[in-house]
A and B are shown apart, each in its own frame.
Chain A
């Protein structure tokens, strides 16, 4: 048969490939194969560069604020910065998961105050911090489940689904409290919000722990890989036998849980539960994730990138506060930073092709 010589040729090509596979990173034989390997390295370089650009921006900002304000680099102020970042960081953990699937969770910002007031009311009525914490986390899980059902069963676009639950959660928090803040947070709970260990606030440790846990889940478990796959190409995921609906549903539940925890942290931090206190944080969490290198089209992003993004925003806030720059200007700056970060990332993406 005539095709056998061709097969033999393929055979030798195979062993050449095998050898090249072993030395893929160092060899450069000038064959077409190597361009792709270089591209692949570029990919990894880009991923590192992306995070390191955010890290670089962070270092520059810290340097500038450190010079401009003698107070900035004091341990008391740094304690405050990492304490303030905790809530947004926890929200960003959940938001990152959702964004990696190609979705978005706008409801987070309203779940925070809802979980906060539910937790505070339960704490006051049951005289139990534990019951309150459970109620807060459960509130987040319930809203997350509703989001997941709206997206997977009713096939609502995530933007619309979570906009609807944002509104419903926001309204529920106001209804439950009559628009009044809930005071009398148990001291045991609020001391958790202000305390710390080894110069690190408890709140920050909680955020850090959740971030490490979810980053681990994303990179080391089949579930995490499927989250990326479903965001990268839902059709491919379905054809590979993944249960897309279950995956999508669970990231919204995770995001809801994170929002519930965020609400608890905020309550502990400010010692009151305000029915509409966190309404500005939705942009912060999404901004943190996007600054951290995630794409709103799904399939890419990391938790630790989002954490860097959150930290960048917190440093920017704190530093501009110290320099007496008005909060109005800060809000404008936030917009500039988000647009700038995504623009820089886009330029690099285009350069790759």
Chain B
């Protein structure tokens, strides 16, 4: 998984997940309209759009929380139907939601392993293998340079950035291929935001496909390789981050700038 990328080498990632003409309706409301996109390994793909543009719906379709009404998802070339988050997870798709997804009273290790604890079996009885989990958690935390004071710290005693680090630690290291980050720095201060941005960047550099949803264009330009713009449920543009400007993206988000012609 850890592919060290040579300096200046443009990384052309393999497509991890592609969406083909995905649509999703809620009652009479069209949340997603014929959306196609590709998420590639070792690239950070940013998804931007105004509130209500359909970003969350798209994320939920990818994470298995929603199933599209039409269109297909292809995971590494194979069509898949995701009906539950656990199905997405078993295929290597992990989502990091805002701070919500941690159990405050449990420590860092317990949170990282929540729902997939390492077990030792004694006949019919399964016990927690805390030692194995601590060792593995340490590998993940150190391996991804996640800044956490102690593996035994209760999560509620951590700062916002550290909590986000734990949430990311939860998501990586399970044969993860695609990691979805929904507003990962919305609740963070400047320094912590920089830290998490660095972490997101390093996930991409290690060969993971990253989908970043962010309102913060500066952040998008800092960390992403590709930008998709969503407006009113339609994908209006795809840009290489290096070949566009923030004002162009703002124009695409608000509709001040025409959507790209579709082929």
Which residues of A come within 8 Å of B, CB atoms? 1, 3-4, 6-7, 10-11, 13-14, 17-18, 20-21, 24, 33-34, 36-37, 39-40, 43, 220-222, 225-226, 228-229, 231-233, 235-237, 239-242, 299-300
Contact = CB atoms under 8 A, between A and B. Distances in A.
B85 interface: yes
Interface in B150-169: 150-154, 157-159, 162
Interface in B120-173: 125-128, 138, 141-142, 145, 147-154, 157-159, 162, 170
Contacts of A21: 138, 142, 150-151
B212 interface: no
Nearest to B202: A7
Interface string B86-126: 10010000010100111111100011001111010000011
Tell me the interface secondary structure of chain A in the complex.
helix
B127 A220 contact: yes
Nearest to A238: B85
B100 A39 contact: no
A315 B151 CA distance: 40
Contacts of A20: 149
A221 B128 contact: yes
7 contacts: A3-B201, A6-B198, A17-B148, A36-B159, A43-B157, A222-B128, A226-B115
A46 to B, nearest CB: 10
Contacts of B102: 233, 236
A18 B103 contact: no
Given A21-B138, A36-B149, A240 B114 contact: yes
B158 A18 contact: no
Nearest to A235: B100
A233 B106 CA distance: 10
Contact of B114 (A7, A13, A236): A236
Given A222-B126, A229-B103, A40 B157 contact: yes
Contacts of B260: none
Nearest to B167: A236
A10 B102 CA distance: 25
Contact of A232 (B106, B147, B202): B106
Contacts of B159: 36
A3 B102 CA distance: 30
Contacts of B147: 13, 17
A13 B165 CA distance: 15
Given A36-B158, A43-B157, A225-B110, A240 B115 contact: yes
B105 A232 contact: yes
A232 B104 contact: yes
Nearest to A295: B105
Q: Which 8 A-B pairs have the closest CB atoms?
A: A240-B115, A299-B105, A232-B103, A36-B149, A232-B105, A240-B114, A241-B115, A40-B153
A107 to B, nearest CB: 26
